[in-house]
Amino acid sequence: GAGVSQSPRYKVAKRGQDVALRCDPISGHVSLFWYQQALGQGPEFLTYFQNEAQLDKSGLPSDRFFAERPEGSVSTLKIQRTQQEDSAVYLCASSLNSYYEQYFGPGTRLTVT
C-alpha cells in the first residue's frame, strides 16, 4: 500500500515568509508525528497527534510553529515568519498507534534564505 507522503519535497522561503508543510499518513494510522532533522543530525521530535488530538507539542521550537490534523488524517505543519535557523528537513511519521513502529515520509527540505 501507499506509504507516508509529504509535500512539497523542497521549499525555499525568504526570511519572514510563512510556510505550510503537508503530511499524508498511511491510511488507518491513528498516530502521527513530526520531527525536525538539522543537517548532520538525527531527527528531533516536534509534536504528536492521536487522531485529531494534538497530545504533545513540547518539541515545537517556538510559538511560530503550529501543527494541525483537523480530521484525524492529513496533517499540516505551519511555520510563521520563517528564520534561517528553521532550515532543516521536516519529517512526518505515522503508526497504527503510538506503540508500534513509526513509518516515515521522505521529508520536506526547507531552506530559508
Indicate the residue among 41 and 51 with the shorter CB distance to other proteins. 41
- The position carrying cell 505543519 is 77
Question: How many CB atoms sit inside 10 A of residue 3's CB?
Answer: 12
Q: How far is the CB of 4 from other proteins (least distance, A)?
A: 8
Indicate the residue among 57 and 80 with the shorter CB distance to other proteins. 57
Q: Rule CB under 8 A: which residues touch other proteins? A: 3, 31, 33, 35, 40-45, 48, 56, 59, 89, 91, 93, 98-99, 101-107, 109
Q: How far is the CB of 64 from other proteins (least distance, A)?
A: 21
Q: Is 88 helix (H, G, I), strand (E, B) or coil?
A: strand
Indicate the residue among 80 and 102 with the shorter CB distance to other proteins. 102
